[in-house]
Amino acid sequence: MKFQIAKLLVSIAIMCLATNSVLADTAEWTLMVFMNGKNSLEADALANFREIAAIGSTSKVNVVVEMGRPSAHVTHEAEGWSGVLRFNVKKGQAPVPASAVLDLRRNPALSDMGSPAALDDFINWSLEKYPAKKYMLVIWNHGQGWRFQMADDESIRDASTRIPPTDRTMFTRLSQAAEHTPQVGGYRAVSFDDDTKHFLYNSDVQKSIANASSRLKRKLDIVGFDACLMSMLETGYGFRTSAALMVSSEELEPGPGWDYTAIMGPLVRTPTMTPLDLSSAVVAAYKNRYGDHHMTTLSVVDLSKIEATADAVSSFADALLNSIDSERAKVEQARSKLTTYGAGDGLYTSIDLPSFLELYIAETTESASRTRAQAALDLARQTVVINYASATSVRATGSKGIAIYFPASKSDFDADPYKQGYVKTNSDHPVDFVSHERWSDFLQIYLR
């Protein structure tokens, strides 16, 4: 009996040692970058890949990239290949087929970066092949806010916001490429596949991240959008149960996007970074790249607080509806003081939520609406844990880190190609926030 107990104790000790060894060998971070350059952002995709490769993966940090390039090239550099390749990016690596760990060019289903199956497969593959203690998913492309679907290339046409003055040659190439991209709709899009003409709605992306969360048996640590107009209450609400933090921009992003070398450097030096530390490094690198010379923003949103904020906005909307006759003029006055995001490209749909609430509180004397606006403001401020906004953006839009859909007029709402998504009865890829909260009910009455 004693011998059997001794054998059991030895077996348990061996298993514990093996488990500790596996944990010690597990990478601290896996960064998954869904880099869809199968459109007019091809040259920017190559540039960002090289920024990642300037540092590269280590034993403690995996950086895996799914990279797509179009058949109609903006540039033929890096061997001018088309299709989709997957990389575990090493230091000094070139974005060429010989460096890829998986070639998907002959797989039509998985090389369609506008397909939910492609995003799903990339995430699942990354989790299986590159396990880590913490995970970040970056959706890289054009961003279109609350109803984001992977859509078209119109956003690159405003040189003042999309492309820095030092990169006018690239802007010219991208503008020419965009002329050949079909008009899919307004700015509710990210990651349009120019070859297949397919795109993803937010419900598709939500499902992919929810699947990853289920597989991990916990929330994804960070979901990031290197894309335009994604830092919205509506967007964050969709990931409230599947991700912990969201890094995204209220405003349009310049074409070069995030500074991946400046992000990777600190992470590789300190791979034990917390999710908040890494998110902060992303924002710091972005701020350092763009400063106060552009209409630029980037923020970190605590998704554990997003539902409470949304509920408070719903309560505020209820109060406004109960006093719409007396409060309409005050809402109009507050709304009129804010420029919409993407206004340089003719967009008139999203505004900074905290700034609007502050302006409304200053206008009104109606007790219930004022109290509920203050409650929503307090929660919105708590939800945004890190925020960068250029001085230019602060002057124009407020830019305190999280936006909300709010066309200034019925004509602006009617001009939005995706306006049906903000109707509660819509069944075509419905928006969670619209379905479950009551801000849309207020807008339908207010915009009549």
More reliable by pLDDT, 205 or 303:
303
Domain that holds residue 183: 31-305
In a shared domain, residues 316 and 238: no
More reliable by pLDDT, 21 or 325:
325
Pairing of strands 132-140, 243-248: unpaired
Q: What average pLDDT does this structure show over 334-360?
A: 91
CA–CA separation, 323 and 366 (whole Å): 8
- Is 336 a domain residue? yes
CB 158 within 8 A of CB 345: yes
Query: Is the pLDDT score of 141 beyond 50?
Result: yes
Which band of pLDDT confidence, cut at 50, 70 and 90, is reported for residue 152? very low
The residue among 232, 248, 114 whose CA lies nearest residue 184 is 114
Query: Is the pLDDT score of 312 beyond 90?
Result: yes
In a shared domain, residues 316 and 296: no
| pLDDT given for residue 5 in this prediction | 62
The last residue of a domain, from among 305, 336, 361: 305
The residue among 61, 56, 50 whose CA lies nearest residue 89 is 56
CB 61 within 8 A of CB 29: yes
Which band of pLDDT confidence, cut at 50, 70 and 90, is reported for residue 143? low
- Is 1 a domain residue? no
In a shared domain, residues 351 and 297: no
In a shared domain, residues 152 and 215: yes
CA–CA separation, 16 and 19 (whole Å): 5
Sequence-ordered list of residues with C-beta below 8 angstroms from that of 23, at least 6 positions apart, any chain: none
The residue among 274, 251, 260, 235 whose CA lies nearest residue 383 is 235
Strands (E), 112-231: 132-140, 220-226
| pLDDT given for residue 294 in this prediction | 87
| pLDDT given for residue 133 in this prediction | 99
In a shared domain, residues 248 and 368: no
CA–CA separation, 430 and 190 (whole Å): 17
Which band of pLDDT confidence, cut at 50, 70 and 90, is reported for residue 24? low
CA–CA separation, 28 and 288 (whole Å): 26
In a shared domain, residues 41 and 75: yes
- Is 93 a domain residue? yes
In a shared domain, residues 286 and 420: no
The residue among 435, 438, 421, 413 whose CA lies nearest residue 313 is 438
Sequence-ordered list of residues with C-beta below 8 angstroms from that of 185, at least 6 positions apart, any chain: 151, 152, 417, 418
| pLDDT given for residue 102 in this prediction | 98
Query: Is the pLDDT score of 377 beyond 50?
Result: yes
- Is 14 a domain residue? no
Which band of pLDDT confidence, cut at 50, 70 and 90, is reported for residue 270? very high
Which band of pLDDT confidence, cut at 50, 70 and 90, is reported for residue 6? low
Which amino acid type is present at position 105?
R
In a shared domain, residues 297 and 322: no
Tokens (6 digits) for 202: 């937010």
More reliable by pLDDT, 132 or 175:
132
Q: What share of the chain has pLDDT > 90, as a percent?
A: 73
SS3 156: helix
More reliable by pLDDT, 179 or 288:
288
| pLDDT given for residue 22 in this prediction | 44
Q: What is the largest CA-CA distance in the chain?
A: 86
More reliable by pLDDT, 348 or 186:
348
Residue 257: Cβ-neighbour burial (10 angstroms; 0-12, 13-18, 19+): buried
- Is 8 a domain residue? no
The last residue of a domain, from among 279, 305, 331: 305
CB 261 within 8 A of CB 325: no
In a shared domain, residues 188 and 101: yes
Question: Tens digits of per-residue pLDDT, 64-112?
Answer: 999 999 999 999 999 999 999 999 999 999 999 999 999 999 999 999 9
The last residue of a domain, from among 305, 323, 355: 305
CA–CA separation, 226 and 190 (whole Å): 10
Which band of pLDDT confidence, cut at 50, 70 and 90, is reported for residue 293? confident
Handedness of CA 307, 313, 314, 315 (dihedral sign): positive
- Is 12 a domain residue? no
- Is 133 a domain residue? yes
Overall number of domains in the chain: 2
In a shared domain, residues 300 and 344: no
SS3 396: helix
CA–CA separation, 412 and 432 (whole Å): 22
- Is 3 a domain residue? no
In a shared domain, residues 233 and 348: no
In a shared domain, residues 293 and 321: no
